[in-house]
Structure 1
């Protein structure tokens, strides 16, 4: 057994190495490249989705990719974002228990495309991934948890917020409200927290408060792991 000072030095080095490994793992986890994921239909992935979801999966993936790529050629950014919103909203709304026999499952955008169905998280994530793949920087987008007032009741809901400029009022991309509207025109929505590839925020009236990295969100980490598995085949 090493003398106490030597053991302390070994433990200190071990902690340092462990910390560096954690930093490296976090960097790896945030290094996902969106290019070639949702907007490029790869035969192997089509076949994989067809085996899981049936013969319509491949054509659905191809149809969505074609529509999103066409939207990507629209020069005006706001019009392009609105078009992405419209395209994704063509999918059927279905709950997680209906689709996945789970109370809360975040489908990958490819799963969403193959099924052409999902719930509010799936719409929001698919729109986020599509816009990121088309080159939009993360700081213009936030996946946002909200409380939705509907028929006199508050419900949990998720939307995608688009910020044309830093500090600008966001536009809301929502599967329930087909119109592309500014946040101020959606009094039925109360934001709770939001996130993108870089940060997590608690939304509050005095100014949003940063909470840290999205890698703290278990559902987001699990989603990226499954997306990476799709990419690797």
Structure 2
């Protein structure tokens, strides 16, 4: 795999994203495709190619169209819990690992959507990741939030419910905290939160970002 390309994307994930055309070129790198095939099988190459096409939308594509495309693309991957897929209690896969393995859990869906939308030119200030409690399943869950404006009701991109709905309509989700590449907010409501510090306090988040600066792609415990 091209170490320089991976390091560049690692820096991008920690700060500003690469332009989508640059990432598309990276995904077409024969060394990366050979590594994907070796770790995840030949199907991973086809998924990476489909991902590259997603990153090349028509000119004039709106944010609403982008979030629909991204939500639908990743929701077609297979849900699997971390112990079964990765052999770990909690593992936040980076987007290439998620696409390579052809699935993951809620954190993996949400992280991949978050970074892909930034690659497509959606402003970082409009995006957050949010931990919520999924009432129906009585468990914690992660989703991606898109704020059309600073004060607006965020739209929720979710793998449990594929419909993109305003947070006010997702009464099945109770907000706990949200974060972006830099900061964490404790949520007082579906729209407002109190700044609680740096996102680097989240150990799994920091670990996930760091893996972009190495050649390592984790092999799944089982194939999906």
* TM-score, with length taken from structure 1: 0.79
Query: What is the aligned counterpart of 1:54 among 15, 38, 41?
Result: 41
Unaligned runs of 5+ in 1: 1-26
1:179, CA displacement in angstroms?
0.6
Counterpart of 1:193 in structure 2 is 177
Counterpart of 1:142 in structure 2 is 128
Paired residue secondary structure (1:172): strand
Cα contact 1:147–1:189 (8 A) shared by 2: yes
Counterpart of 1:154 in structure 2 is 138
Q: Residues 131 and 38 (structure 1 numbering): CA distance in 2 closer, same or farther, change over 3 Å?
A: farther
Unaligned runs of 5+ in 2: 1-10, 217-224
1:89 matched to 2:71? The reply is no
1:120 matched to 2:110? The reply is no
Alpha-carbon separation, structure 1, partners of 2:118 and 2:16: 11
Q: Residues 145 and 222 (structure 1 numbering): CA distance in 2 closer, same or farther, change over 3 Å?
A: same
1:74, CA displacement in angstroms?
5.3
* TM-score, with length taken from structure 2: 0.82
Paired residue secondary structure (1:69): coil
Cα contact 1:39–1:69 (8 A) shared by 2: no
> Larger radius of gyration, structure 1 or 2?
1
Cα contact 2:118–2:124 (8 A) shared by 1: yes
Q: Residues 207 and 182 (structure 1 numbering): CA distance in 2 closer, same or farther, change over 3 Å?
A: closer
Q: Which runs of 4+ in 1 moved over 3 A?
A: 27-40
Q: Residues 43 and 62 (structure 1 numbering): CA distance in 2 closer, same or farther, change over 3 Å?
A: same
RMSD over aligned CA atoms reads 2.3
1:203, CA displacement in angstroms?
0.4
Q: Matched residue pairs, number?
A: 202
Cα contact 2:131–2:140 (8 A) shared by 1: yes
